[in-house]
A and B are shown apart, each in its own frame.
Chain A
Amino acid sequence: MLGLTFAAPLALAALVGLPALWFLLRVTPPRPRRIAFPPLKLVADLMARRQTPARTPPWLLILRLAAAAALILAVSGPVWNPQGIGAGGGRSALLVLLDNGASAAHDWRARLAVAQDTIEGAARDGRPVAVLGSAEAAAAIEARTPAAALERLRALAPRPHFADRATLLPVLGAFLEKNPGAGLVWISDGVAGPEADAFTGALAKLAEAGGTVVTLLRADAPPALALTAAESGSKLTAKVLRAAPNGREAGTVRALDPRGLPLAEHDFAFPNGALAAEVPLEIPVELRNNISRLEVSGERSAGAVVLMDERGKRRRVGLVFGGTSDQAQPLLAPTYYLSRALQPFADVQEARGAKGTAESINQLLDNQVSVLVLADVGAMDERTTARVEKFVSEGGLLLRFAGPRLAAGNDPLVPVRLRRGGRNLGGTLSWDNPKTLAPFAPESPFAGLSAPADIGVRRQILAEPDGDLPARTWASLQDGTPIVTAETRGQGRVVLFHVTADTTWSNLPLSGLFIDMLRRVVALAGSAAPPTDGGPRPPAAILAPRLALDGFGALGSPPASAKAVAADYGDRATPEHPPGFYGPADGGIAVNALRPGDALAPLDLSKLTGARTGTLAGAETLDLRPALFTFALMLLALDTLAGLWLGGFLARGGLGRLRGRPAALVAVGLLLAPLLAPVPARAEEPAANRPNGIESALLTRLAYVITGDAAVDEASRAGLTGLTQMLASRTALEPGEPAGIDPAKDELAFYPLIYWPIAANRPQPGEQAIRRIDAFMRNGGTVLFDTRDGLTSRPGAAPTPEGAYLRKMLATLEVPELEPVPADHVLTKAFYLVDTFPGRYASGQTWVEALPPAGEGTERRPARAGDGVSPIIITGNDLAAAWAVGRRGEPLYPVVGGDQRQREMAFRGGVNIVMYTLTGNYKADQVHVPALLERLGQ
């Protein structure tokens, strides 16, 4: 039924009025032009001889008539090819069945358009319509008005799982029974799904029973592609599927990491006429472990996406350190090298918030780690030991590192019997040089690795020379003493490095060899899958959906209907379990639309004999109204322009006006100029002041923070210059030129001490600067804050602007507890013996990190774990101003205070601060030398 029909044919009667309009328009001339004409006063008496009525120009007349005709036609609502394909006749109900499973996304728009045309056709026929998506949950349907059906249609979207159409049969049956003679239009994607279903046969029977005319609309060949992936051993193979040869012969499979960045691409091509194409993805294992998603490039469908979970990929490695878990300084943490070396190929987990070794081990074993690393863990309690033994015998890998605690302890979880204590090589009390590694034996797992010559082992623990020691030795030193030993226990292994995991015993952890050795050790670990042999399996954990695919293959938050799955779920996605990630980010599973090994089958239409079939193309209904309205509107706009032109209003407009006014052009140019002008480059700083230069790395330099207040910055620079000169002349330290730094941008690691004068008139440093300063302090640096308000601040009074500024800045920093410098603090003894730290002012208080309270009985030692250097020193005395010297060494600022030697004392305090930051608590030990000597003398 092709052709043109009108929704409101009566409106066409208005076309009769067009000739009348012709006459009306003819006598309505356009507005006369207005012409400036100086000679008019001479000829003002010259009247027009003949007042001939001006005629509208014929082309304008035609233009206007065309506009009117287009408007009338548009109002009459012409529709080209109005009905789409009607199903059945009469006023009976119509059921539109639209496939919206995972294979439907490819040509979804086309089929949605067909469905819309079908419903609109039914609307013109006045038939009630019901809409059903084949992948929706089966719920009772009823025929409604076409408008409601359109609403329902718009709510339909492709679902990420394959449709199981058989579940719809009862609903369909009920509908057809209720509406005898109803039409059924099935807009199909042509894919039967991974499992052949009996839907078509059952549908044919239902249709026959209900007298239903079934119309099947589908593309000639189902165009959808699907993707599965299987991992066997170290090989990852993707498989592109299609239900029938459909002309899409080649394409690309893409692997993406969790952030959506492409990791690899591989082209595929279907061998002629085949329904599946295998794509071997040969990617290095580190990259492969990072793959989170495989997809057929350009196919926006959940069926063409394979999500990769953590199962069988990266080993989970649990780290436990035997000492106190003091992680305040990350660089000094004993597990630092381990975690850095393991991270490229394993998921490193450390127990969070656990107290004590046993609790950490239990927590990690609960997390299903496959490798348990114990670094310098001594004896464990029996329950833990038993649990670790069970872990090993069930296939876990226990990797141990030696250390003082292990050397002192005696526990069964080592591969060889160990001697108490260890041996020192190349120490002060030893004749030997540090030993390096012997070449690896061919039967060792490390075979093939080459040991760098500069590896030196200074200390190790020794194994008792048993008979089976050589068999258990994976690596040994040049003199034959084992350095790595291993033993197989049950299905698992125990591996022991006879050195520590940090650099105290050897420099092995600094070498690239360490990473390779760890990689090979971890590769030996079995998977963490629960044992399959016998016994009732414990119920798997229930994992809540975290991210779900929508029908177009985009990840998003899971729908409300998504339900949690068991951790061992391995089936296809279902309506309750849409494809996506389930469970926590580091230990969840992925559910996909297809299982590995699935295939797509085309819809079996042989049983649907009585159905009319059609294609998706050629059924497009074209509503001509918008086009006609647009045309009429354009004609009217043209008419307006023409009227303006005839009236002489367009003669000089737009640019023409601007052309006559160079001033306007200049103004526009000036306005645009700042936009186009390049940002002026900053003048190059002198090399000595440039932070981050190679000088900073090679030379110890003092640093100050550039506040942006020129006077303050100049004082800081001059002050640190003065202090630098003083240090060079009085101490063994000869620092380089002081560096002005911007904490937000410059690398801070080069500087032991950063002087930070507070300028209250400057904005607060940004979040990034604060975070970097925090990391700087945490990693052992010291920041000297100077509020420079010693003259104005009073204890107990409201804080000065500088004080308030500093408080606000420190509020987001992790600042330790502070106290005024106590008299016995090492800061007062680091070089000179001083009592106070005066600067330009002497009245301000100096604050440092509070020392731990002295325990009873012990000597008062101003020292703390780690470097023991206070990360923060706060003063108000304006130290830099007291230190500041000019070019000839003359002091630049007067000091305020009664003491004649205040400037000298300021320098001494500054020297002490620098010495303190550089030497830490060394001086704290030295202050006891007189007492020790005295004791020796006795």
Chain B
Amino acid sequence: MVATRALSAEARNPGRRESESAAALASRMPRLILEARRVSSLLAHGLHGRRRAGPGESFWQFRPFVTGEAAARIDWRRSARDDRLYVREREWEAAHNIWLWIDRSASMGFASDLATVPKIERALVLGLALADAFVEGGERVGLLGLTRATAARNIVERLAQALVADEAGLNQDLPPRAEPGRFDEAILVSDFLTPPERVAAAVREIAGRGSRGHLVVVVDPVEETFPFAGQAVLHDLESGLALDIGEAATWGAAYRERIAAHRAALSEIARGQGWTFTLHRTDRPASEAALRLMTLVAASGA
């Protein structure tokens, strides 16, 4: 018989353990993808590591002055050292932000015996690890509606602190209203246990300015398979709802139909906006979802 447990509100905040697991997961992420992306000259925007001159802040190289250029571009300090004229070129940098949202509502604080970790823990680890990996790859990462996008080295700690400070987020099961930039990407990690219409509205809003996004649905295996039998009373974690379902085995069949429909609706929402849809079960390793998302982000940036 499968047992389930629910976590308290405090346990749904990222702690040291989640931060460390996230860092460990991020460090296990293969660099190859990002490296590959970095060297690919096909990458137009958004990806870092241009290795070529362009608009940017940091020094890239001195090149000889070509006649016809604006005289203001000459770097006189360098040019004074010999007889030729030089132009200081800066590295091409483009702002490409990735916005994370991690659902921390009560329904996420749930784990069954079949899962290795609670959903919230998996979501936090996944989100923070992605943030770390992206920052490592040169992206800026921020929390949707909470922080600005930064590329700080200690991004995991920063995001974790921001999450802990955001107490209101413990009760929100949909992303906040925010409008990322056109070339930004949004990653929404949640169980999306809300009616599909509301999810669709939230996604539409975020994608309003054309930004791309990824829905990551974290589910407990129990929520997928409903392996219960015998007399049971279900009760909800958020609304305090309780439902006597009688014989659980028979009810389970109907439930599975319903939940499959829900998944289909979510998938449809994502497709409609050009987003991607990822279903991650907490009995699977976190790296699986992380890898997939890295690939998706890299692909969408291409």
Residues on A facing B (Cβ under 8 Å): 29-44, 46, 48-52, 54, 646, 648, 651-652
| Distance between B100 CB and nearest chain A CB, rounded to angstroms | 21
Main secondary structure of the interface of B (DSSP, over half): mixed
| Distance between A657 CB and nearest chain B CB, rounded to angstroms | 10
Docked complex Cα distance between A206 and B259 (Å): 98
Excluding A33-B231, A35-B232, A41-B107, 19 further A-B contacts by CB distance (< 8 Å) are A30-B231, A32-B230, A32-B244, A34-B232, A35-B4, A36-B110, A36-B234, A36-B237, A37-B222, A37-B223, A37-B234, A38-B108, A39-B193, A39-B259, A41-B194, A42-B193, A42-B195, A48-B251, A652-B3
Say whether A54 contacts B251, CB under 8 Å: no
Say whether A50 contacts B250, CB under 8 Å: yes
Say whether A40 contacts B243, CB under 8 Å: yes
Docked complex Cα distance between A652 and B1 (Å): 11
> Which of A41, A52, A54 gathers the greatest number of chain B CB atoms within 10 Å?
A41
B5 at the interface (CB under 8 A from A): yes
Q: Which of A32, A46, A52, A54 contacts B233 (CB 8 A)?
A: A32
Q: Which of B223, B232, B236 contacts A33 (CB 8 A)?
A: B232
Docked complex Cα distance between A276 and B86 (Å): 130
Residue numbers in A under 8 Å from B255 (CB-CB): 39, 43, 46
B247 at the interface (CB under 8 A from A): yes
| Distance between A45 CB and nearest chain B CB, rounded to angstroms | 9
Say whether B234 contacts A40, CB under 8 Å: yes
Q: Which of B195, B233, B250, B259 contacts A34 (CB 8 A)?
A: B233
Residue numbers in B under 8 Å from A648 (CB-CB): 1, 3
Say whether B236 contacts A46, CB under 8 Å: no
| Distance between A652 CB and nearest chain B CB, rounded to angstroms | 6
| Distance between B295 CB and nearest chain A CB, rounded to angstroms | 28
Q: Which of B3, B241, B248 contacts A41 (CB 8 A)?
A: B241
Say whether B244 contacts A34, CB under 8 Å: no
Instruction: Give B199-226 as 1s and 0s: 1 = Cβ < 8 Å from A's Cβ atoms.
Output: 0000000000000000000001011000
Docked complex Cα distance between A50 and B249 (Å): 12
**Count of chain B residues near A, Cβ 8 A:** 42
Say whether B238 contacts A34, CB under 8 Å: no
* Given A43-B255, A43-B258, A46-B255, residue A36 in contact with residue B6 (CB < 8 A): yes
Main secondary structure of the interface of A (DSSP, over half): loop
> Residue on A with the closest CB to B255?
A43
Residue numbers in B under 8 Å from A36 (CB-CB): 4-6, 110, 234-235, 237
Could you jot down 5 A-B contacts, CB within 8 Å?
Answer: A34-B232, A37-B4, A41-B194, A42-B262, A46-B254
Docked complex Cα distance between A646 and B236 (Å): 21
Residue numbers in A under 8 Å from B254 (CB-CB): 43, 46, 49
B89 at the interface (CB under 8 A from A): no
Say whether B230 contacts A646, CB under 8 Å: yes
| Distance between A660 CB and nearest chain B CB, rounded to angstroms | 9
Q: Which of B239, B247, B248, B258 contacts A46 (CB 8 A)?
A: B258
Residue numbers in A under 8 Å from B245 (CB-CB): 48
Say whether B191 contacts A38, CB under 8 Å: yes
Say whether A35 contacts B223, CB under 8 Å: no
Say whether B251 contacts A35, CB under 8 Å: no
* Given A33-B232, A48-B250, A646-B230, residue A38 in contact with residue B193 (CB < 8 A): yes
> Which of A31, A48, A646 gathers the greatest number of chain B CB atoms within 10 Å?
A48
Residue numbers in A under 8 Å from B195 (CB-CB): 42
Say whether A40 contacts B241, CB under 8 Å: yes
Residue numbers in A under 8 Å from B194 (CB-CB): 41-42
Say whether A37 contacts B235, CB under 8 Å: yes
| Distance between B259 CB and nearest chain A CB, rounded to angstroms | 6
* Given A54-B230, A652-B3, residue A38 in contact with residue B247 (CB < 8 A): no
| Distance between B248 CB and nearest chain A CB, rounded to angstroms | 8
Interface residues of B in 79-95 (CB under 8 A from A): none
B246 at the interface (CB under 8 A from A): yes
| Distance between B258 CB and nearest chain A CB, rounded to angstroms | 5
